[in-house]
Amino acid sequence: MRVWKFGNDIDTDAIIPGRFLTIYDPAELAKHAFEGTRDEFAREVREGDVVVAGSNFGCGSSREHAPLALLGAGIRVVVAESFARIFYRNAVNTGLLPLVCAGAGEIRDGDTVTVDLGGGFIEVNGKRLAVEPVPGFLKSIVDAGGLVAYAKDLDEVETCSTR
């Protein structure tokens, strides 16, 4: 899958600018993903492509439109050296898989990447790079395919329970 490589501190205003926040449909949002900062993304992105970035990906606003825009564009996995907290959680909740990869800096735009979640690595240009597993309490949400699916059959939660 093709890599779309970004730098450090990619903010949610870059992923989806504020003027598109009345849109909630992922496919419509995808038409404006990275508009103004990387216009070719929305035109050329293909189903299954992977976004790879440096540190602090998704910083800024809590807008869930950001992971939704990427999902609408066919992105299922984002690999970064690190993520901003709210984006990371939003990604997990909406079914976009955020993978922390210390070696993300080695990956170049246009590289081909395959993801082996079971093995805990991604493979780029024949080289394996380790990725960190999603923390335990979020793993069940990832496994369910997002927080909606996870919560659908829950009638109540046990407050102050620990995971």
Partner 1 sequence: MAATIAEKIFSQTCGRAVRAGDVVMAPVDAAMIHDITGPLAVRVFREMGGEQVFDPERIIMLFDHQVPADSIPAAENHVFMRRFAEEQGIHNYDLNEGVCHQVVMEKGRAAPGEIIVGTDSHTCTYGAAGAFATGIGSTDMGFVLKFGALYFRVPESIRIEVDGTFGRRVGAKDLILSLAGDIGADGATYKALEFSGGAMRAMNMAGRMTCANMAIEMGAKAGIVPPDATTWDYVAARREVEPFDLAGDPGAKYAETRRYDVTDLAPQVAVPHNVDNVVDVGRVAGTKVDQVFIGSCTNGRYEDLAEAAEVLGTADAFADGVRVIVIPASRTEYLKALRAGLIERFVEAGALVEAPCCGPCMGGAFGLLAPGEVSLSTSNRNFRGRQGSAQASVYLASPATAAASALYGEITDPREV
Closer CB to partner 1, residue 12 or residue 73? 12
Q: What number of chain residues touch partner 1 (CB under 8 A)? A: 49
State which of positions 12-31 bind partner 1 (CB under 8 A): 13-14, 17-24
CB of 34 closer than 8 Å to CB of 83:
no
Closer CB to partner 1, residue 47 or residue 157? 157
Which span (45-53, 60-68, 69-77, 96-104) binds partner 1, by CB under 8 A? 60-68
Strand, helix or coil at 91? helix
Closer CB to partner 1, residue 85 or residue 108? 85
Written as six digits, the tokens of 98 are 């955020």
Q: Does 160 bind partner 1 (CB under 8 A)?
A: yes
**Number of Cβ within a 10 Å radius of residue 66:** 29
∠ CA 129-132-135, nearest 5°, is 165
Closer CB to partner 1, residue 46 or residue 139? 139
Strand, helix or coil at 138? helix
* Interface pick for partner 1 out of 85, 108, 127, 139 (rule CB under 8 A): 85
Q: Does 157 bind partner 1 (CB under 8 A)?
A: yes
**Number of Cβ within a 10 Å radius of residue 43:** 7
